[in-house]
Amino acid sequence: MSGETPVSDPYFPGHGDPRYRVHRYELSLDYRPGPNRLAGSARISAIAGRAPLAEFHLDLAAFRLGKVLVDGRQPRYTHRGGKLRIRPAKPLRAGAAFTVEVHWSGNPKPVNSPWGGLGWEELSDGALVASQPTGAPSWFPCNDRPDDKAAYHISLTVPSPYTVVIGGRLLTRTTKSSTTTWVYEQAAPTPSYLLGLSIGVYQTVLLGDPGLGGVPQSAYVPVPLLSEFSRDFARQPQMMRFFEELFGAYPFGEYAVVVADEDFDVPVEAQGLSLFGANHVDGTRSWERLVAHELAHQWFGNSVTIAAWRDIWLNEGFAKYAEWLWSERSGGRTTQELAAAAHRELSVLPQDLVLADPGRKSLFDDRVYERGGLTVHAVRCALGDEAFFRMVRDWVSAHRHGVVGTEAFMAHVARYAPAARPVDQLMTAWLRRGPLPPLPVVGNGGAGDGGPNGTPAAGGAAGAGILHRRRE
């Protein structure tokens, strides 16, 4: 993908500017929860594309602008309709590095979308950011496209009773008088929509035993929910080790979860961070599948990121399948049982969704998730366990911190299929056509009868080889 000339995303042609790429964002922010007042400055380090830049755009909601500079000089600019259009004093040379400085202030609010408000949301006592797919401009100027991944350095000052959680490593926390400044660094390449943030009154919880090594995991939880949380998320450290076994090393330096003191329709993933609602914590592990789903996104969606929104099944299909893998590993229903249940549900729904290009209106349709999981299962049944999990680990490793698309995935899978049983037709049926293919069944004449070297196949009577464990 890196050798191709970027173009506007057909689902969101008004977002992002393909004529340049951002290398690093440095954000300095001050937020007051009472009046919901945000003041910020951004220093954006970018590189022009293959053509000179007489003008370029940043995405930014309707804030009041202060200073705007390009390489230290004042440009001409306009700010309307969520677009900051900038004309440098001199056109930028093709391939030239340049910096943009923007100062803004105002009352942040979600940006409108077909799925409701996105981005910065004021809570009853604090705030959070959940930007997928186009909410990032609700709080900072950015090149809002999933394939423009950059590093972030963020300083955020809030009243001292509040905790600030941002995906990445906490560098410093400095208290002066009644305010505290939290400084985070996200060094891994991150698209703007995956920059997550939460401001609230939380108790910090460490998950797992730090003395045992492994990925540092922390949680930020309202005090009244601590007891329920301690049971609902108790198995996350085992889940992390299991996913590392299946998918390869966790791709970031740390992982955090936040439970907001409000209800959410669904949890939201961000880079190195997942945000849950209070309704997802009940002390009975009712929502453990979502704990697995959001954790799996750190590999599928966050490290390995789609270049265009039409390929969202690559994010959601693998995260859905991770739910099924964890269910079987933890003593619940097997992957085959869950695949069969999903197939039954899809079989009575309209058969007009093309998974590899579902259309903007169907971006978050349940069929994308369920059919995506079934597609991953179909590939596993065709390849067998040994080849399938090797394929997945190689996919994650080869595209770590990069961007991908469906075509690249199909080509990757084909390299792991036996010469006598190519998977091109199978993947075309699942990804490029609307009608639902038959349920993938282990032992139905494909490589799924058993992986190479005698590895048990998915959903077999004895369990799925690498997945089979006693109930925990």
Taking residues 300-320, what's their average pLDDT? 98
pLDDT tens readout for residues 247-290? 999 999 999 999 999 999 999 999 999 999 999 999 999 999 99
- What's the rounded Cα separation, in Å, for the pair 18 and 41? 23
In-domain check, residue 131: yes
Whether 294 is catalytic is yes
Query: Which candidate in 288, 369, 370, 386 is catalytic?
Result: 369
Taking residues 182-187, what's their average pLDDT? 98
Q: How many CB atoms lie within 10 A of CB 298?
A: 26
Element (H, E) at 306: strand 305-306
Q: Tell me if 293 is assigned to a ligand binding site.
A: yes
In-domain check, residue 8: no
Whether 369 is catalytic is yes
Instruction: Name 29's bridge partners.
Output: 40, 156
Are 340 and 266 found together in one domain? no
Are 273 and 405 found together in one domain? no
pLDDT tens readout for residues 6-25? 688 999 999 999 999 999 99
- What's the rounded Cα separation, in Å, for the pair 468 and 327? 10
Contacts of 103 (CB under 8 A, 6+ apart): 40, 41, 42, 65, 66, 67, 68
In Å, how far are 155, 213, 223, 284, 463 from 241, measured between CA atoms?
32, 11, 27, 22, 19
Query: Which candidate in 121, 228, 294, 370 is catalytic?
Result: 294
Are 286 and 331 found together in one domain? no
Q: Tell me if 297 is assigned to a ligand binding site.
A: yes
Q: What is the pLDDT of residue 8?
A: 87
Q: Tell me if 57 is assigned to a ligand binding site.
A: no
Taking residues 31-42, what's their average pLDDT? 97
- What's the rounded Cα separation, in Å, for the pair 405 and 2? 11
For residue 258, what is the domain's CATH number? Answer: 1.10.390.10
- Domain end position, chosen among 191, 210, 230: 191
Q: Considering Cα of 74, then 76, then 78, then 82, what sign does the dihedral take?
A: negative
The stretches of 12-105 forming alpha helices (DSSP H) are: none
CA 82 to chain centre: 23
Confidence of residue 444 (pLDDT cuts 50, 70, 90): low
Q: What is the pLDDT of residue 420?
A: 82
pLDDT tens readout for residues 58-107? 999 999 999 999 999 999 999 999 999 999 999 999 999 999 999 999 99
- What's the rounded Cα separation, in Å, for the pair 31 and 33? 6
- Domain end position, chosen among 243, 263, 298: 298
Nearest to 250 by CA among 403, 404, 396: 396
